[in-house]
Structure 1
Amino acid sequence: MERTNTMQFEIAADGRSVHISRQYAAPLEQVWKAWTEASILDQWWAPEPWKCHTKHMDFREGGEWLYSMNGPDGEVAWSRCSYGEIELLSYFEGKDNFCDEHGQPNADMPSMHWRTEFSENEMGTRVENHLRAKSAEDLSQLVDMGFREGFEMGQNNLGDWLANNK
């Protein structure tokens, strides 16, 4: 039986796509809300000791989430997710990019297309993230910046949040 606290991270043979999955011992509705409501995202999205702060979020097709990750020494890194297709309690898609505090993309940094899928099972809820970069070089740049480790830390935060908010 799969452990609920293990994140799987697989880079595809093309070098520009990654698949990330994790099982949570929590109901689908709770996991969905944790990924789609700013007040909850701000509690778990950033890897500790960093904190996430949402400037604004409009979770709908064509909407966006503009947020910053704030470091312990005053560092601030802005990102924007522009939402594409959304199917309630099933999946959402979006394009995520580094940006300034107004949402203007940083052309020197890679962007990613995300598809996040949710499925309920006997153990709780499985979340599958499919990410695609424009090139293998862009994905490599993100991985070199600590994306895998930071994302896993955030997923651990989410697991803790779900366990404490039953």
Structure 2
Amino acid sequence: MPITSVSKDTDDLTMVVVAEFPVPVRRLWDAYADPRQLERFWGPVEWPATFSRHDMTPGGESHYVMTGPDGDTSAGYWKFRSVDEGKGFEVEDGFASEPGVPDTQMPSMRMTFAFEETDEGSRVTTTTWFGSLEDLEKLIETGMEEGMTSAMGQMDEVLADLKSYAAGAGTTTQLLDDTHARVSRIVRGTVDQVWSAHTDPELMRRWMLGPDGWVMATCDVATEVGDTYLYEWEQEDGSNRFGFTGELLEVQAPVRCVTNERMIGVEGDGVRNDMTLTPVESGTLVSTVMTFPSRELRDQILSTGMADGMEISYARLEKDVLVPA
């Protein structure tokens, strides 16, 4: 069991949980920074979490839902107050009535996560500050301590799994629920480099092409919230043109942008794409959560081989565009 101590102080209104692991600090940090890893332990064994948003940067947010064995759900959120990469972060932690909507009937807490090296590996100290003694007692009664113990007991297996989360693993697609999917890849480059590659038309035309034999005929980029973008591709002989258009809904350069998107000539609601760039040990994790209007459209789009085309493009980005970090 990685937890070495749990202490509660009713005078300071705090609970402190200390856990140690036989891995470097960077490996432990990345487990919290990467939503694919975080959702494997953030939640008791019988209540696994699914993260629909996780932008680990000051002012960013995380939205998650834990699902119980009978299908019951419990939603929560983090609002990041500060992030010191590799050393620690602070969040407002609370319950949500639905993803991204705080439940005002439940207390929220301030939590800090401090990471440090040890002789055997690394340590994370999680300190929770409660708003009142009533809040502390209420949350302890709900099983908060037992839940954290169960959750962190899963971390050894996650930390040992290097292959699934390393650079070179390729582009992966996860079905989060009936209308959400996450497409992820680690790109060997800095966050600034990868952001530029997604927003600079000249760079985009060099790598965002899918299989060989295609060119990006139109690359009109949206730079401000409310702007419309237009991307079109065609084969080198000018045939089979297709494209996508959409609107920039949110942007926080160089770590996050949210767009809606639809294929040109196709009627109906589009797809919401929430892309987050996160620094990890081997480069930048590009994570895009796609929100579909229906399960049928989700399955239709994913079955086109979209992820395969993205992998070809990202491999080209690494090989032909990015300067080694």
Normalised TM-score (structure 2): 0.48
CA RMSD in angstroms comes to 1.5
- Separation (CA, whole Å) in 1 of partners of 2:160 and 2:146: 21
Residues 26-65 of structure 1: pairs in structure 2 closer than 5 A:
26-65=23-62
Q: In the TM superposition, what whole-angstrom CA distance separates every residue of 1:5-43 from its partner, at most 9, and x where no partner exists? A: 333111114162111111111111110011121111111
Displacement after TM superposition at 1:114 (Å): 0.6
Which of 4, 9, 16 matches 2:6?
A: 9
| Change beyond 3 A, Cα 1:151–1:23 | same
Instruction: Decide which moves more: 41-50 or 67-76.
Output: 41-50
Unaligned runs of 5+ in 2: 164-325
Question: AA paired with 1:135?
Answer: S
Larger RCO, structure (CA 8 Å, separation 6 or more)? 1
- Separation (CA, whole Å) in 2 of partners of 1:102 and 1:145: 20
In the other structure, the counterpart of 2:100 is 103
Does 2:152 correspond to 1:155? yes
The DSSP-based 3-state class of the residue aligned with 1:96 is strand
- Separation (CA, whole Å) in 1 of partners of 2:108 and 2:142: 13
Displacement after TM superposition at 1:108 (Å): 1.7
- Separation (CA, whole Å) in 1 of partners of 2:10 and 2:31: 31
In the other structure, the counterpart of 1:86 is 83
Instruction: Decide which moves more: 153-162 or 83-92.
Output: 153-162
In the other structure, the counterpart of 2:116 is 119
- Is the 8 Å Cα contact of residues 44 and 151 (structure 2) preserved in structure 1? yes
In the other structure, the counterpart of 1:66 is 63
- Is the 8 Å Cα contact of residues 25 and 116 (structure 2) preserved in structure 1? yes
The DSSP-based 3-state class of the residue aligned with 2:101 is coil
- Separation (CA, whole Å) in 2 of partners of 1:88 and 1:64: 16
* Larger radius of gyration between Structure 1 and Structure 2: 2
- Is the 8 Å Cα contact of residues 34 and 40 (structure 1) preserved in structure 2? yes
In the other structure, the counterpart of 1:134 is 131
Displacement after TM superposition at 1:164 (Å): 4.1
Identity of aligned residues (%): 28
The DSSP-based 3-state class of the residue aligned with 1:100 is strand
In the other structure, the counterpart of 2:297 is none
The DSSP-based 3-state class of the residue aligned with 2:39 is helix
Question: AA paired with 1:24?
Answer: F
Structure 1 runs (4+) greater than 6 angstroms displaced: none
- Separation (CA, whole Å) in 1 of partners of 2:5 and 2:139: 17
Q: In the TM superposition, what whole-angstrom CA distance separates every residue of 1:96-131 from its partner, at most 9, and x where no partner exists? A: 010122422112211110110000121111101111
Unaligned runs of 5+ in 1: none
Q: In the TM superposition, what whole-angstrom CA distance separates every residue of 1:44-89 from its partner, at most 9, and x where no partner exists? A: 1111122110011111000000001111101110001000111110
- Is the 8 Å Cα contact of residues 15 and 139 (structure 1) preserved in structure 2? no
Normalised TM-score (structure 1): 0.92
- Is the 8 Å Cα contact of residues 7 and 152 (structure 1) preserved in structure 2? no
